[in-house]
Amino acid sequence: MRDKRLTIVVVAAVLVVLGLWLKGYFSAERVVQRKLLAAVEAFESEQLLGTLQVISRQYGDPWGQSYESIAGYLSEMMATFDDLEVEFLEMSADTPEEGVLVRIRFVVSGRDGNGAGTILGSRSDPCTASILWRKESSGWHITTTTSLDIPELRDELDAMHRGR
């Protein structure tokens, strides 16, 4: 009888732990982080459509960018550079009412005809972004970027933001 109770207690504990793990694994924050990492992997492999699948067709941001303009920038970067790599220095996620807000600090590096090196940001002055994901009928997608700092493009980004 004692062995049966112990077995029941162990099975119950395992189920509770598994349930808590699954709850975390399928939380909105975790799903979005996994989708972001998969999109970065596609970017590093120069798979444009794989990268774009996380961006909403209704994307719009304070700099006047859209799904189409983001696709153009990504395509140009993939055509210009080889061995693309995104290094995340920091990533966090919050869940405001409107979706999941992911804050990232990152550096993009790659290789062109002049050699390999950083393209955007550096370890001492990384790019930063806050991107808002919303659940759409086809799943979680990036619908806007609420803040963006790319050291190499600060003047252009400021001008685009002021021009809106």
**Domain CATH number, residue 118:** 3.10.450.50
Residue 17: is its pLDDT beyond 50? no
At residue 127, the pLDDT reads: 97
Mean local confidence (pLDDT), 86-111: 94
Structure-token match 């050699």, residue found: 115
Q: Tell me whether residue 156 is in a domain.
A: yes
Structure-token pair, residue 75: 């395509």
The pLDDT > 90 percentage for the chain reads 71
Q: Tell me whether residue 51 is in a domain.
A: yes
More confident residue, 96 or 92: 92
Q: Tell me whether residue 19 is in a domain.
A: no
Per the structure, how many domains does the chain have? 1
> 127: which residues sit within 8 A by CB, 6+ positions away?
105, 106, 107, 108, 120, 121, 148, 149, 150, 151
Q: Tell me whether residue 12 is in a domain.
A: no
CA dihedral over 122, 123, 125, 126, signed as positive or negative:
positive
Q: Tell me whether residue 91 is in a domain.
A: yes
More confident residue, 113 or 89: 89
Residue 61's pLDDT band (cuts 50, 70, 90)? very high
At residue 18, the pLDDT reads: 45
**Which range marks the domain in which residue 158 is found?**
28-162
Q: Tell me whether residue 20 is in a domain.
A: no
Q: Tell me whether residue 48 is in a domain.
A: yes
Residue 105's pLDDT band (cuts 50, 70, 90)? very high
Classify burial at 103, counting beta carbons within 10 Å of its beta carbon; exposed 0-12, middle 13-18, buried 19 or more.
Answer: middle
Give tens-digit pLDDT for 118-147: 999 999 999 999 999 999 999 999 999 999
Residue 82: is its pLDDT beyond 80? yes
Q: Tell me whether residue 7 is in a domain.
A: no
Cβ atoms 64, 163 nearer than 8 A = yes
Mean pLDDT taken over the chain: 88
